[in-house]
Structure 1
Amino acid sequence: MSQKDTRHGKEQNADGQRRFGRTELPPEQQEAVKKAIRLEWITIGVLVVTVAAVAVVMGNSQAMKAAWIEDLLSFIPPIAFLIAVRIINHPPSRKRPYGTHRAVGVGHLVASVALLVMGGYLVVDSAIGLITAEHPPIGSFHLFGQTIWQGWFMIVIMLLSVPGPVILGRMKIKLAKELHNKVLYADADMNKADWQTGVATAVGVAGVGLGLWWFDAAAALFVGASILYDGIRNVTTAITDLTDTRARTIEGNEEHPVIYQSEDHANSKDWVRRAGARVRDQGHVFHMEMFVVPEPDSAPEMERLQDLRDSLADLDWRLEDIVVVPVLELPAEVHGGTAHLQSEGGQEFQET
């Protein structure tokens, strides 16, 4: 059994010993996770129908084959997310003292590698089709005594597959940012690729119907390039996070602002001369080491250190595991935030 300190998100075991880090999200984020789980199950249901429908009508079209493979790949991110959310709530232990939050990062990497590999395959396969001038045969259906071009069925199926990913992707991107969950963010990216694939494939098949045979391979090449781009971008971000790079925003294009907020908060304490944080992304939460240089006449008492740790935990729910370390000078890897600090000679300066 464990008891929850609801103010600071810390747990104690049955003997009253403090555990590092949270094992539960705040109520608002817990509700967001429930919504995300529902969306992922809806996504899987939509994909089952889409994959089956595309398989029935795709024939020998390269664009349709690329779209079908892309839809199969789209199962990976939601499945990775559903597995990760079941793992990350396991409490820290002696074997895993940092908890199991890295499951999100591992899931992100798995989904990203799948995108990268299959995107590369589709680009090569489609390029070969263009180079060899392969003319895709699109047959006909006999329905109620009428002969109907199979391309019409392809176009209708692909256009019907567009609204679902548009709606689901917009909903997921909002939740991904709220939860700082990069698997969910990658899945929203995949949904964007899905609807773009639907439109591109419909255009490619229509081009074949107009006698432009190369439209089909060109559409398949566009789909493959889109998947490859998403794969490269997501693999880069996943590897960056797993190799303990300084924590960044969910888009991965800049350092996370909570780092500077935390440093400024620590620097605001009257007993702190300088403070700087070393922060890494654990998957959807952050592990922070806050280094503080105390004022010469202010001994770093345990109560002060614990108060700073607790107040840092209150700043942002992502600050899941915080260690406050008193030091004589800041490590070179940190720089102390943006607050106005006192130099050795008493002159104010601003770190940037």
Structure 2
Amino acid sequence: MKRIPAEIEQDVARARRLEWWTLGWQLSIIVILYFVLGSSQALKSAWIEDILGLVPAAVFLIALHWEQKAPDRRMPFGHLRMNSLAFLAAASALVVMGGWLIFDSGMKLLMAEHPTIGPMTIAGERMWAGWPMMAALAYSVVPPVILGRMKQPVAKRIQDKVLYTDALMQKADWMTGLAAIVGIAGVGYGLWWADSAAALLIALDIAHDGLRALRVAAAELADGAPRALDSSDIAEDARALHDHLQARYPGARIRLRETGRYIMAQVHGATPPAERCDPRDFWPEAVPNQWRLASVSFAPDGIDFDHRLG
């Protein structure tokens, strides 16, 4: 099995470049927001989310490095599941940080804490600190909008859930920036609750995306049937593959599981072909992404769990 199929080599290389760009832009945003933090809860939430935004990009690059390593005695099945572990790490980071921000912002609302955004001096000029805060947040909105839109189509072509989760985080980042600007402006107009309310909305969005991703990551690591990129539903190409194998081997039990971006199939209770076949020969012709099918194994009939892809 090729470590990176030829059909997606260029897209994988593009994804790698996008993630390096993400790390660079995110670090610049984190530094700029740090110098204008002040006491705004919404700005702090945005800053923390930007720090969290480093996680998916970093784990994608690490997983891609390991994914391309050849199998050895200690890892006879290769390192394809590093992508699955990276996905779990990215999803867990979203859930943990979203939960913490929900608690922190919710407590500030319940305790009716009034944030104070006072004056600050920049280049010898005194001004309301809210202006540089909102300017920094405006800057933080631009890169995520561009990078998120660039990542989504690439993630779909290479079927990479880590990259897709990162694209969702980019969306959350620019929404966070806009919500924080509204919250700071609200404080400027005397609406003390606007800042914490904006932070709470940001946190709920982070936690929602994280929980959805965590369910899919858990299913993948538990040898669940392949899931779609954007939901916990069974992937359409996996359904088509299951039906195709079922028609080809009537009476056999077909099992599919996902390992990173790839699908592994087992045909239980059928005789394998006499000649050695490429896994792609078992893929339905009308369905794209033949490279997704990494292996097809045959198991003799016997005691087995009855399995049907719902």
Q: One fold, TM greater than 0.5?
A: yes
Distance in 1, matches of 2:186 and 2:137, equals 14
Q: Is 1:179 the counterpart of 2:149 in the alignment?
A: no
SS in 2 for 1:172: helix
Alignment of 1:60-79 (within 5 A): 60-79=39-58
Distance in 2, matches of 1:103 and 1:301, equals 31
Alignment correspondent of 1:57: 36
Contact 1:289 1:322 survives alignment (8 Å)? yes
Distance in 2, matches of 1:113 and 1:70, equals 14
Contact 2:212 2:232 survives alignment (8 Å)? no
Q: Is 1:35 the counterpart of 2:14 in the alignment?
A: yes
Amino acid at match of 1:239: A
Structure 1 pair 324–190 and aligned structure 2 pair: CA distance change class (3 A) = same
Distance in 2, matches of 1:144 and 1:242, equals 54
Amino acid at match of 1:253: S
Measured against aligned partners, the alpha-carbon deviations of 1:62-100 in whole angstroms (never above 9, x if no partner) come to 111111111110000000000000001122334323221
Please point out which of 256, 267, 292 is paired with 1:290. 267
Amino acid at match of 1:48: L
Distance in 1, matches of 2:246 and 2:50, equals 50
Q: CA RMSD in A?
A: 2.3
Please point out which of 227, 239, 264 is paired with 2:218. 239
What's the offset of the Cα at 1:264?
4.3
Distance in 2, matches of 1:82 and 1:308, equals 29
Q: Is 1:311 the counterpart of 2:281 in the alignment?
A: yes
What's the offset of the Cα at 1:254?
2.0
TM-score under structure 1 length normalisation: 0.80
Amino acid at match of 2:281: S
Distance in 1, matches of 2:240 and 2:253, equals 11
Q: Which has the higher helix share?
A: 2
What's the offset of the Cα at 1:326?
5.6
Structure 1 pair 164–274 and aligned structure 2 pair: CA distance change class (3 A) = same
SS in 2 for 1:302: coil
Contact 1:141 1:150 survives alignment (8 Å)? yes
Structure 1 pair 145–163 and aligned structure 2 pair: CA distance change class (3 A) = closer
Q: Which has the larger radius of gyration?
A: 1
Structure 1 pair 314–95 and aligned structure 2 pair: CA distance change class (3 A) = farther
Structure 2: give runs of 5+ residues left out of the alignment.
none
Distance in 2, matches of 1:211 and 1:288, equals 61
What's the offset of the Cα at 1:267?
5.3
Please point out which of 302, 305, 309 is paired with 2:274. 302
Amino acid at match of 1:147: R
Please point out which of 106, 111, 119 is paired with 2:90. 111
Q: Is 1:128 the counterpart of 2:107 in the alignment?
A: yes
TM-score under structure 2 length normalisation: 0.90
- The alignment covers a number of residue pairs equal to 306
Q: In percent, how many aligned pairs have the same letter?
A: 38
Distance in 2, matches of 1:239 and 1:331, equals 21
Structure 1: give runs of 5+ residues left out of the alignment.
1-21, 295-299, 336-351
Q: Is 1:82 the counterpart of 2:66 in the alignment?
A: no
Measured against aligned partners, the alpha-carbon deviations of 1:160-180 in whole angstroms (never above 9, x if no partner) come to 211211111111111111111
Alignment correspondent of 1:346: none
Distance in 2, matches of 1:252 and 1:287, equals 20
Distance in 1, matches of 2:232 and 2:39, equals 40
Distance in 2, matches of 1:86 and 1:290, equals 31
Alignment correspondent of 2:295: 321
What's the offset of the Cα at 1:327?
4.1
